[in-house]
A and B are shown apart, each in its own frame.
Chain A
């Protein structure tokens, strides 16, 4: 039921873990099935220098978090904020319909992390 792309990210998750000395952290949960995703980032000069994820959820949730970190790594914060779940799904070569909600979580976790960074930043 999952594409090869999804299985690749599931079996070899990129950027899994927690960024040391992160200055941005977003944890979001999903009311649908109860999964939880955590994104940590090191942001410098409005650019995402490092990003890592941790996910408690299904194969699709793990794969979307993994690919989403790749998609925002090294990107300016403004650009990362424009990441949509449909872009994530497309990058994964599709998800089963019942699993689309898992990809929303990745988008939300990234936004939550950036919001957290903004709330910490002086001024």
Chain B
């Protein structure tokens, strides 16, 4: 049995998206910016896709710009906002639980001379309005807070946070990385939100395609210069198939959102309950209620996450970990540290992200596999006291 539990990393392309994309890959290959019929048809498909996607998101089609994905959208929002801010606004605020696409862009800008502040989170990974307000300054150019975290699934009170920012200074731009949220939960697109990023492959669309919403009136300068596509704001020959795939996937997810979310949440809760009952010295990370429907995240004492993921792989379960050993930089996840876990505890993290396409029976297999995998890792671990079936001293308090 193979059970895919890494939907936060990527999702399989849904049938609706594939079908919507095929014509533009096969016969409808025209360049949407050319003027003959073949091209005009492609252009029409592109604009149809934009309208469909905008309707699903509750925004105007003219406010939606297609990009190569979440990373580009985040880069564009932050770099563009800083450029727009000019000399008067050279301060950036991000939350402590942003995706690397935001963190590393903000740190790049910091190296270029901008100052950077981080809004802290509480133990559930939530940014409180007061905490955000305390790091705002008169010269803040942009505030970026992730809609729902990719590691622990905590959903932020975006409307409230955006309002807090605008009450402080309505010229500050508010951006949210909605990559994990879009298609899965309703987005808080209030007038206080100036920009949000999304990525098609996180909700059944194709990889390498996404969008940035830019509220009308926000004069964000382009990131990519060239032939003047996307009304002069994002040059690059239009990816018509990508747009068609994004729109079809988003329409499918939005149309079934409640049913899908309910199903995913039921599976997630079964997974959480089953694992907590089967494995001692284990804890759930992230907010108990305000979390993405499909995200179950844990820490296991005396276990290293990369080993755990490899063990699960041998049992046919695909998951992921925020352990230092599992990251290319050998740093533990900044998200797990931000919610107050020490490095050695963050080591034992496991993220399982399910979708409506998973089944009850699969969850039984996953629970059993996690139990076995954790036992195997612990039997090898010098931090596990086998005789007394508990972690060696110094670790216990995090699991009580």
Contacts and interface: CB of A to CB of B under 8 A. Distances in A.
Nearest to A13: B380
Given A16-B379, A16-B380, A32-B330, A56 B310 contact: no
B16 interface: no
Interface string B296-332: 0000001110110010001000000001111010101
Contacts of A10: 307, 310
Given A58-B304, A59-B306, A98 B328 contact: yes
Contacts of A38: 382
Nearest to B343: A34
Given A34-B343, A34-B344, A62-B307, A56 B330 contact: no
A62 B305 CA distance: 13
B230 to A, nearest CB: 37
A55 interface: yes
B59 interface: no
A86 interface: no
Interface string B333-346: 00000000001100
A59 B310 contact: yes
Contacts of B347: 34, 56
Nearest to A37: B382
A56 B306 contact: no
A56 B304 contact: yes
Contacts of B314: 11
B381 A54 contact: yes
Given A10-B310, A35-B304, A35-B325, A56 B343 contact: no
A33 interface: yes
Residue with the greatest number of chain B CB neighbours at <10 A, chosen from A17, A35, A55, A102: A35
A101 B330 CA distance: 11
Given A10-B310, A35-B304, A62-B307, A56 B383 contact: yes
A10 B313 CA distance: 12
B324 A56 contact: no
B15 to A, nearest CB: 31
Chain A interface mostly: mixed
Residue with the greatest number of chain B CB neighbours at <10 A, chosen from A16, A33, A57: A33
Interface residues of A, number: 25
A72 interface: no
A80 interface: no
Residue with the greatest number of chain A CB neighbours at <10 A, chosen from B302, B332, B381: B381
A36 B325 CA distance: 12
Contact of B326 (A11, A27, A55, A58): A58
Given A56-B304, A58-B325, A59-B310, A33 B330 contact: yes
A32 B324 CA distance: 9
A38 B385 CA distance: 13
A73 B307 CA distance: 25
A59 B326 CA distance: 9
Interface in A1-20: 7, 10-11, 13, 16-17
A61 interface: yes
Interface string B357-398: 000000000000000000000011111000000000000000
A73 B382 CA distance: 20
Given A33-B324, A33-B325, A57 B307 contact: yes
A54 to B, nearest CB: 4
Contacts of A16: 379-380
Contacts of A37: 382
Contacts of B379: 16-17
26 contacts: A7-B310, A16-B380, A17-B379, A27-B382, A34-B324, A34-B332, A34-B344, A35-B304, A35-B325, A36-B382, A37-B382, A38-B382, A54-B380, A56-B304, A56-B347, A56-B380, A56-B381, A56-B382, A56-B383, A57-B304, A58-B325, A59-B307, A59-B310, A61-B325, A62-B307, A101-B330
Given A36-B382, A56-B302, A59-B307, 4 more contacts: A34-B344, A59-B306, A59-B310, A98-B330
7 tightest CB-CB pairs across the interface, nearest first? Answer: A58-B325, A33-B324, A58-B306, A38-B382, A54-B382, A33-B330, A56-B381
